[in-house]
Each structure stands twice: as C-alpha cells, then as structure tokens.
C-alpha cells in the first residue's frame, strides 16, 4: 500500500564513537510530501506557501538541479546520470520546509515507487554548510538484503563535517514508509569500523492544516534550530580537541588561487 503525505514528528540522535565520544538527541519536525501534489498540500494552510514567502513554505530552489524544472524531471535525469532506472510511480519527499524564507536540509530523502506501488529506489540528497550538495542513489546495485528494513552501502563523496575525513563509507538503513512511523539510520564507517551514526525516528500523522499548525506551534523555526545545533555541537567537538579536517574542495580552490597569484607575481 502506498503511503500518504504526512506531518512527521520525532527525534534525531547523533553518536560519535571515535576518536572522540560525543552524543546528543534533538526533537525534530519534518514533512513527507507527494512531490506531484506539493502546491495542493501547501495550499491547505494560509500559513504555508509553494515557491512564495510565508511562515513556512516549500521552495524548489532548496533541492538539486534547475528549480525551473519539475522535481520529477530532475530526479529522472539525475538517476540516468548515475545509471539508475527511475520508476514511473509516485515519489515522496522527506524534508524540512522553509521558515520565514530560510531553510537548511542536512539530508532529504526521495522515496521512488513503481506503478504497482513497490518502493524501487531511494535518493539521499546530502547538503553541507559550505553550500555543496551530493546525491546518493540507493538501489538494488548497492543494497544488502535485510528482513525488516532496506540496507545500502556507498562511499562518502561529499565533505560534510569538518571533524570527519573523506576516506569513509556510509551505510543507510531505512524502513519503508507505512503511514505510522518512519526510521532512517546511518552508519559512518572508517576502515570498516563505526565512527559515527545517526538515527531519525518519526511518527506520521496524515497531512492537514490542523496537524501542520500543531507542529508549527510545538516546533517553531525548525531549520534555524537545525543550523544552530550544527554549530553548537561543532563548538563542543572543537572544545574536546577532536581532529579537524578542512574541506578538500576549499583547499584545492585556495591552492589554485595561490598558484595564480604566484604566476602573476
């Protein structure tokens, strides 16, 4: 059975195991949206808008690709570029909304179904605080079969935390959406050993203006809290003298600029 669009409320837990131990848990509120119905869904409340400023809004610019093109087209093109067969059924997006025009999504998940209602592939769209983004397609090609969830493994391709090196692997473990709960777990492995994990546990409530308003009262300015928490926990890790790894992309850009200045001199 296909899931329904919903308000998703729960907790996010991060645990760091080495070289520094560190753990925290925060309450979170996200939305789970049928991408073909986003304008209709946001239109259910006067406090919400699609591609327009409001207390909360969904903006196509907050996701990868050309925001002038429909999300479905962007997904299909990106899947083809990664050698993934994109199914022709419904697609649901688990993400944060904009609050007063501001949004930051550390990771959004696109759940892609076929016409028979079977979940075929999942896209993890990862963003960092440097304004960079990377798409990780989770499909049969990198899936490890498990009994109660879907498990995938892939190499790290984007510098996210300045306290973790690039030479790592990700393991994603996701339950299938069932209109009641949703769990996303991620292990970050270094040389085959767990260095970090994150667990998102959500309970789902059918989409309605009343459910949205209750969530906004309980969790105001969610994305501002996300970015504030990221910097607060980074400060705590710095205080614990956790090893620091600069963004290799930024390092390469700095080196190129220095080389150009040297040549010009």
pLDDT given for residue 72 in this prediction = 97
Q: Is residue 233 part of a domain?
A: yes
pLDDT tens digits along 177-193: 988 999 999 999 998 89
Is 38 within a domain?
yes
74: three-class secondary structure by DSSP = helix
C-alpha to C-alpha distance for 246 and 240, rounded to whole angstroms: 17
Determine the pLDDT at residue 255: 43
**Model pLDDT, residue 259:** 40
Does residue 257 have a pLDDT over 70?
no
Q: What angle do CA 90, 87, 118 make, to 5 degrees?
A: 65
Residue span of the structural domain in which 228 resides:
6-264
> Is 1 a domain residue?
no
pLDDT, the chain, mean: 90
Cα 88 from Cα 126, distance rounded (Å): 23
Domain-embedded: residue 122? yes
Q: Domain count for the chain, please give it.
A: 1
Residue pLDDT, tens place only, 55-107: 999 999 999 999 999 999 999 999 999 999 999 999 999 999 999 999 999 99
> According to the model, what pLDDT value does residue 250 have?
53
User: Is residue 202 a part of any domain in this protein?
Assistant: yes
236 in any annotated domain: yes
């Amino acid at each position: 059975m296909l899931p329904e669009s919903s308000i998703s409320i729960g907790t996010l837990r991060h645990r760091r195991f080495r070289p520094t131990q560190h753990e925290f848990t925060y309450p979170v509120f996200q939305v789970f949206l049928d991408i073909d119905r986003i304008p209709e869904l946001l239109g259910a409340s006067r406090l919400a808008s699609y591609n327009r400023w409001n207390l909360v809004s969904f903006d196509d610019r907050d996701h990868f690709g050309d925001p002038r093109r429909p999300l479905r087209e962007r997904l299909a093109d990106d899947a083809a570029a990664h050698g993934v067969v994109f199914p022709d059924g419904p697609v649901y997006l688990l993400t944060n909304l904009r609050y007063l025009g501001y949004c930051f999504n550390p990771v959004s998940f696109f759940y892609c179904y076929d016409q028979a209602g079977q979940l075929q592939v999942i896209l993890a769209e990862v963003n960092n605080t440097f304004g960079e983004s990377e798409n990780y397609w989770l499909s049969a090609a990198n899936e490890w079969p498990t009994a109660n969830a879907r498990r995938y493994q892939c190499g790290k391709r984007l510098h996210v935390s300045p306290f973790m090196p690039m030479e790592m692997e990700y393991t994603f473990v996701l339950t299938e959406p069932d209109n009641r709960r949703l769990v996303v777990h991620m292990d970050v492995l270094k040389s085959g050993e767990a260095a970090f994990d994150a667990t998102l546990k959500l309970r789902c409530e059918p989409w309605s203006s009343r459910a949205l308003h209750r969530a906004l009262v309980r969790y105001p300015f969610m994305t501002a809290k996300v970015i504030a928490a990221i910097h607060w926990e980074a400060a705590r890790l710095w205080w614990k003298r956790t090893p620091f790894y600069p963004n290799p992309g930024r390092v390469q850009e700095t080196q190129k600029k220095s080389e150009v200045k040297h040549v010009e001199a």
